[in-house]
Structure 1
Amino acid sequence: MPDGALLNRYWDSRDTPRDESWAEDVATAREATGRSAAEVYRDLRSGAESGWDFSSRWFDDPQNIATLHTTEIVPVDLNSLLWTLERTIAAHCRALAERACVRDFDRRAGARKRAMNRYLWSVSERRFGDWDRRTGRMTSSVSAAGLYPLFTGWANRSQARDTARQTEAVLIAPGGLRTTALTTGQQWDAPNGWAPLQWVAISGLDRYGHRATAETIGTRWLGTVDRVYRETGKMLEKYDVEQQRPGGGGEYPLQDGFGWTNGVTRVLLDRYPDVVSETAPTAP
């Protein structure tokens, strides 16, 4: 980072088209202006490694995938998870009385938290977000990734309160939590909602006492999953949380099943047992 602090980004060591999307990547590189094909390929690969393949989080122009620059973005969710990993390693070392290891990973976690507060929290906008290394400032993308500091527990109470307010104002849709605030045709943007992000948001908000907001997301998501299941007899990879129907967008057809949808739905049914009736779904 500009002051020498260390945070992490997504990076792929290869700069060739993805094997599974070769033609698509070649076409994207042709559309990119002022950049080498190798640079575009690396950013596409890194975006796929992020799990958010693809999202306007990585784009200069939210409507144009050829403007992605994943490797220049410092993501709030990735660094939140790495902070948790460093803390977990320190805790295990403490249990084993490995003092040098404890000091090392406590130091790493402390330094990361200070850097995240400096670069991944906007005092003026009162929100968490991603940092663009080229522009030297936080990106304009408002996304569910901003709830990871609550999920992992490094946010303070004031930050959590502001995050809950923004979530209520921008990200909560009729059928659950939007992935981002923008509709772009990419699958990791609105109107899609994804089960793991619902759980991140619900768990994080609940951790800081924002239980009503967490419940709104959870019950609306269950309503969407239940509605689509009754109509199709399927659990799906992603959902349109605006219209409460199967999700879409991205590079490949919507996938049936998916363990994360099943798992999150199961735990939310335990948490909010009165949302879904016991009436059996109609077979498709």
Structure 2
Amino acid sequence: MRRAAVALSLALVGGCMAPAARLSAPAPTAQVRTPADLYGPLFEAVQMRRIFPDGKTFVDAVAKRDAAAIVADYRRGDYRDDAALTAFVMANFDVPASAPATPASAARPPLAEHIRALWPQLTRPPLDPPAGSSALALPHRYVVPGGRFREMYYWDSYFTMLGLEADGRGDLTRDMIENFVSLVTRFGHVPNGTRTYYVSRSQPPFLYLMMGLVRDADAATQARWLAALKAEHRFWITQRSVTMPDGAVLQRYGDARRTPRDESWREDVETGRGDPARYNDLRAGAESGWDFSSRWLGDGRTLATIRTTGIVPVDLNSLLYGMERALAERSRALGHRNAGDYDRMAEVRRAAIERWLWRDDEARYGDYDLGERRVRAGVTAATAYPLFTGMASPGRGARVAATIERDLLAANGLRSTMATTGQQWDRPNGWAPLQWIAVDGLRRYGRDDLAQRIAVRFLATVEREYRASGKLLEKYDVEESRAGGGGEYPTQDGFGWTNGVTRALQERYAR
């Protein structure tokens, strides 16, 4: 049975799409040149000497002339002095200004009204980037998170769309889906974000859920979207698979590169200390969206022990279960003969998750450590994902709900983990997307009482901060009801997914 499941996976990724729905061959990821590739020694000098406080500034700059000419001039000059190097960069690049803060609302209108007014501020027109830019072309409008995040991001966008739908902006939802479909066509997957330096990795696969928000797409659109979903599924199966001890195949996070991340070069060099495997694990942690968390740390505390690629994550595999169910449903609706194959793949995956990613003695789902051959210690908010995708049995769903209530429910929302490490995806931080995953999953399993408590507490936290500062933030401390902290950069305001989840929760609970 296990060999048959693997053979089925390989047959599907080998291409059983209807001929009319096939995508053109994507560009190899290795051919996408990033700022580190283009500017070599100049890039390393700028990043390692911290010419800009934020490592993302230089990688978002636009070169004023040919990269090779810039590098040649740099090699001929003497730029050991930081002032001279800064002057050289400013003469050869259009450098973005420090990320502008989203204007605080002095008048403090009702929160829902404030968020509706933010959508136009965060919306960008179709993008045909100039020569010398790291930005990827986008044929339609899109919404950015805000702050230092000047581009469209993958999993952020689903949660942003929840708010767009609540505010009657389905036109933007559809535009962004079309952008993601165009990215799959070009690269074979959805990149982490719409920059060249993000193309080597993806993020948690929420595209099928984005598509599920649109109820009136015509048959031709549905066929294009299904082709993109099948291509994305092939990416995860062919690029991110790992074999469990019994031969079952699940997926893990990864990245095609084994170098420091362009946008966090100095931080990764200091952490990785020349180890390509550790750089790859840092990149894989970024693909997870939880960058960073005790979930990926060998000792559960220290970033230098990161080993993301040695861990089989419950959130990713739960989402892939949901994707396979969606592929079956969409294939069936369009009359494709292989719909049942995706149903079977989902069922095989469900059985593997239930066997390998479940801790019965702790009544929770978790991440499997391949090196230690066990589910990693510590309850995290990722335990809600099998409920969110409807994968868990009713009995296990009820037990997970009790665990969430006992361990993760804080006075002001849902904690990400129970570990205090200083990393931004750990205690005491709570993040809007994880609130939604838990709330939606708990409702699905009949625990609307607990779902409502999480939602109401988180909404109160967002409201308190908004009343105090006029801002919506990327993350919150849900134990002290204040701005969240930790991580590689200051807490950002804007903020796309907080806006989206807040509006969706308001529509559900605060009418």
TM class by smaller structure: over 0.9
**Distance across 1 between alignment mates of 2:401 and 2:327:** 29
Matching of residue 185 in structure 1 with residue 422 in structure 2 = yes
- Superposed CA deviations along residues 63-111 of structure 1, whole A, max 9, x for unmatched, are 2001110001100000000011111111111112222x11321121111
**Distance across 2 between alignment mates of 1:211 and 1:103:** 32
**Distance across 1 between alignment mates of 2:364 and 2:269:** 36
Matching of residue 173 in structure 1 with residue 410 in structure 2 = yes
- Unpaired runs of 5+ in structure 2? 1-243
1:211 is aligned with what amino acid? D
Residue 90 of structure 1, aligned match among 325, 328, 352: 328
**Distance across 2 between alignment mates of 1:121 and 1:149:** 10
**Distance across 1 between alignment mates of 2:434 and 2:425:** 11
- Which residue is equivalent to 1:132? 369
Matching of residue 116 in structure 1 with residue 322 in structure 2 = no
Residue 259 of structure 1, aligned match among 496, 502, 505: 496
- How high is the TM-score relative to the length of structure 2? 0.52
Residue 449 of structure 2, aligned match among 196, 212, 218: 212
Residue 297 of structure 2, aligned match among 42, 56, 59: 59
**8 Å Cα contact 1:178-1:190 kept in structure 2:** yes
Deviates more, 1:14-23 or 1:265-274: 265-274
**Distance across 1 between alignment mates of 2:265 and 2:347:** 41
Task: Give how far 1:123 is off.
Answer: 2.1
Task: Give how far 1:231 is off.
Answer: 0.4
SS state of the match for residue 249, structure 2?
coil
- Which residue is equivalent to 1:281? none
- Which residue is equivalent to 1:235? 472
- Unpaired runs of 5+ in structure 1? 31-35, 275-284
2:392 is aligned with what amino acid? A
**Distance across 2 between alignment mates of 1:96 and 1:42:** 39
**8 Å Cα contact 1:130-1:141 kept in structure 2:** no
Task: Give how far 1:125 is off.
Answer: 2.1
Matching of residue 2 in structure 1 with residue 245 in structure 2 = yes
Task: Give how far 1:183 is off.
Answer: 1.1
SS state of the match for residue 7, structure 1?
strand
- Superposed CA deviations along residues 142-174 of structure 1, whole A, max 9, x for unmatched, are 110010000000111111111111111110111
**8 Å Cα contact 1:202-1:214 kept in structure 2:** yes
- Which residue is equivalent to 2:340? 103
**Structure 1 residue ranges, 4+ long, deviating more than 4 angstroms after superposition:** none
1:52 is aligned with what amino acid? W
Matching of residue 29 in structure 1 with residue 272 in structure 2 = yes
**8 Å Cα contact 1:60-1:68 kept in structure 2:** yes
**Distance across 1 between alignment mates of 2:490 and 2:372:** 35
Task: Give how far 1:10 is off.
Answer: 0.4
- How high is the TM-score relative to the length of structure 1? 0.92
2:280 is aligned with what amino acid? R
**Distance across 2 between alignment mates of 1:204 and 1:90:** 21
2:379 is aligned with what amino acid? V
**Distance across 2 between alignment mates of 1:106 and 1:212:** 32
- Superposed CA deviations along residues 26-69 of structure 1, whole A, max 9, x for unmatched, are 11123xxxxx7011000000001110000000012222001110
- Superposed CA deviations along residues 187-212 of structure 1, whole A, max 9, x for unmatched, are 00011100010000000001111111
1:246 is aligned with what amino acid? A
Q: Percent identity?
A: 58
Task: Give how far 1:124 is off.
Answer: 2.4
Task: Give how far 1:219 is off.
Answer: 0.5
**8 Å Cα contact 1:234-1:256 kept in structure 2:** yes
Q: How many residues align?
A: 268
- Which residue is equivalent to 1:279? none
- Which residue is equivalent to 1:12? 255
Alpha-carbon RMSD across the aligned residues, in angstroms, is: 1.0
- Which residue is equivalent to 1:33? none
**Distance across 2 between alignment mates of 1:4 and 1:243:** 45
**Distance across 2 between alignment mates of 1:186 and 1:127:** 22
